[in-house]
Structure 1
Amino acid sequence: MKSCGICGKGRKKVIKRKKLRGHYNPIKSYFQKSNIQILNFNGKKLEVCKECRKLILKGKIKV
């Protein structure tokens, strides 16, 4: 399972729901995956999520 090397964000389980006669009923469950990207930074290959990638390139997170 891939996860962010900085914040640890990975996949999470969510349940799809449908409204029927005023109530939300669970339909199915599935996993949402975070947007993990490979970033080449100072000669290192890092697997980071999109939010951490933006902060690294702006210089707000030191790697």
Structure 2
Amino acid sequence: MRYTVSIVFRQDFVEIVGNHITIGVTAKPVGGAANKEIIKKLAKHFGVSSANITIKSGHKSKEKIVDIV
């Protein structure tokens, strides 16, 4: 399933409305730490392995497109 993801920094939450996810991230966007945290949170929320989640676009943006298998 493909989702659009919006990032909010300095908060810790996951909110899903339809195909849009708003996620709070506490990690700083340095060296991919924030993207790793996003993948971990989504994997835990959906109950899948981290390997089943890929960021398709927006690696350096607050707006991302994510595929969850």
TM-score category by the smaller chain? under 0.3
TM score, norm. by length of structure 1: 0.21
| More helix by percentage | 2
* Rg (Cα) greater in structure: 1
Structure with the bigger RCO (C-alpha within 8 Å, sep 6+) is: 2
TM score, norm. by length of structure 2: 0.20
| More strand by percentage | 1
